[in-house]
């Protein structure tokens, strides 16, 4: 082996020894979803990991196998044989085996299969690999959604099947309408952007949020605007005048008017008689609001 190969092999061996002894950052938790498939009277297993977890672990352990080393098949097989032998001897478990293979192949599954033939790694190693679960990497969104969906309670009755949202007292979780539908089969109306499952509710009942309103954070006020209730006050020179957070509102002023979870852009008009409702002109339409309505105006 070249000096570079020897150095990385030694680093990999030290990594396995450290993880075996202390766990990952003193924690021995591997986030994984184990799925089984039955075909031709044979059960096979697939381990799904969030890809970002392996990336973070790689960064935390400060281990990187340069591409210049692994683009050569002979170099890859040096690492592959080491990892398989470590697992075969019981020095590393299947999770560390998958992590080791990730360091070499990332997501390039087709190249990994080419390297695992008997002629490449030997009969015993090839036979062992055939018995091991396959690893697959998913994005964090799908991993968390999959875990959440597995907590949905199902109950069958003579009348119908019930689905109940998972009980979550200290955590709120949002899904896009499309993400929620792809994992539950329940699709809300097209004007719904975000859905928030209500803890323990039957029929997967959710709060619905539109695109304009983020339910988790205050709606950001655009720079140069102020927000508040539109209030009628007195101006010394001109009599009655509407104000928003102390800012006077003039005829023809641009205004954002709050309705439901969103804001409507328009132009302010008023008769200045102290009795009429406030007119908001929006394109060719006109609607009316009263004093106290939430609006935004330029400061």
Domain stop point among 138, 157, 173 = 138
The residue whose two tokens read 């409507």 is 264
Please answer whether residues 135 and 102 qualify as being in contact, where contact means their C-beta atoms are separated by less than 8 angstroms.
yes
Say yes or no: 112 and 63 in one domain: yes
Widest distance between CA atoms in the chain: 97
Please answer whether residues 279 and 269 qualify as being in contact, where contact means their C-beta atoms are separated by less than 8 angstroms.
yes
Domain count, the chain: 3
- Res 25: pLDDT: 54
Say yes or no: 87 and 65 in one domain: yes
pLDDT digit string, tens, across residues 22-64: 666 555 678 999 999 887 777 889 999 999 999 988 888 888 8
Q: How far is CA 40 from CA 43, 49, 78, 134, 135, in A?
A: 8, 26, 34, 18, 21
- Res 164: pLDDT: 93
Domain residues for the domain of 286 are 225-298
Strand pairing class (134-138; 254-259): unpaired
- Would you say residue 218 lies in a domain? no
Say yes or no: 115 and 12 in one domain: yes
Say yes or no: 64 and 155 in one domain: no
Residue 296's Cβ-count burial label (10 Å; 0-12, 13-18, 19+) is buried
- Would you say residue 166 lies in a domain? yes
- Res 147: pLDDT: 96
The overall average pLDDT reported for the chain is 86
State both tokens at 20: 């075996």
pLDDT above 70 for 267: yes
Please answer whether residues 279 and 270 qualify as being in contact, where contact means their C-beta atoms are separated by less than 8 angstroms.
yes
Say yes or no: 179 and 131 in one domain: no
How long is the chain? 299
pLDDT digit string, tens, across residues 71-86: 888 888 999 999 999 9
| % of the chain with per-residue pLDDT over 70 | 90
Say yes or no: 230 and 176 in one domain: no
Per-residue pLDDT band for 94 (boundaries 50, 70, 90) equals very high
pLDDT above 70 for 295: yes
- Res 284: pLDDT: 83
Domain stop point among 92, 119, 138 = 138
Say yes or no: 152 and 132 in one domain: no
Say yes or no: 46 and 123 in one domain: yes
CATH code at position 247:
2.40.10
Closest CA to 114 of 103, 129, 124: 129
Please answer whether residues 4 and 67 qualify as being in contact, where contact means their C-beta atoms are separated by less than 8 angstroms.
no
Lowest mean pLDDT among 12-26, 42-56, 206-220: 206-220
Residues in a beta bridge with 34:
47
State both tokens at 149: 């969906």
pLDDT digit string, tens, across residues 152-203: 998 877 777 789 999 999 999 999 999 999 999 999 887 788 999 999 999 9
- Would you say residue 219 lies in a domain? no
Residues in a beta bridge with 84:
none
pLDDT above 60 for 282: yes
Say yes or no: 132 and 154 in one domain: no
């Amino acid at each position: 082996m070249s000096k570079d190969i020897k150095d990385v092999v030694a680093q990999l061996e030290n990594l396995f020894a450290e993880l075996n002894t202390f766990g990952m950052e003193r924690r021995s938790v591997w986030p994984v979803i184990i799925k089984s498939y039955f075909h031709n009277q044979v059960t096979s297993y697939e381990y799904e990991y969030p890809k970002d977890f392996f990336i973070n672990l790689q960064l935390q352990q400060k281990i990187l196998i340069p591409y210049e080393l692994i683009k050569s098949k002979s170099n890859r097989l040096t690492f592959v044989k080491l990892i398989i032998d470590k697992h075969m001897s019981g020095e590393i478990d299947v999770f560390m085996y998958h992590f080791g293979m990730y360091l070499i192949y990332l997501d390039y599954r087709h190249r990994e299969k080419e390297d695992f033939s008997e002629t490449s790694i030997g009969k015993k190693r090839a036979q062992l690999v055939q018995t091991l679960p396959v690893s697959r990497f998913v994005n964090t969104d799908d991993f968390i959604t999959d875990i959440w969906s597995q907590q949905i309670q199902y109950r069958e009755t003579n009348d119908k099947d019930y689905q109940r949202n998972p009980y979550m007292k200290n955590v709120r979780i949002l899904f896009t309408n499309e993400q929620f539908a792809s994992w539950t089969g329940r699709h809300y109306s097209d004007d719904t952007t975000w859905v928030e499952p209500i803890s323990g509710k039957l029929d997967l009942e959710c709060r619905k949020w539109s695109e304009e309103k983020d339910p988790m954070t205050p709606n950001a006020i655009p720079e140069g605007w102020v927000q508040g209730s539109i209030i009628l006050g007195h101006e010394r020179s001109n009599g009655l005048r509407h104000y928003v957070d102390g800012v006077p509102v003039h005829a023809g002023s641009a205004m954002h008017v709050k309705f439901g979870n969103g804001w409507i852009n328009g132009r302010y008009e008023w008769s200045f008689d102290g009795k009429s409702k406030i007119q908001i002109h929006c394109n060719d339409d006109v609607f009316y609001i009263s004093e106290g309505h939430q609006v935004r105006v330029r400061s």
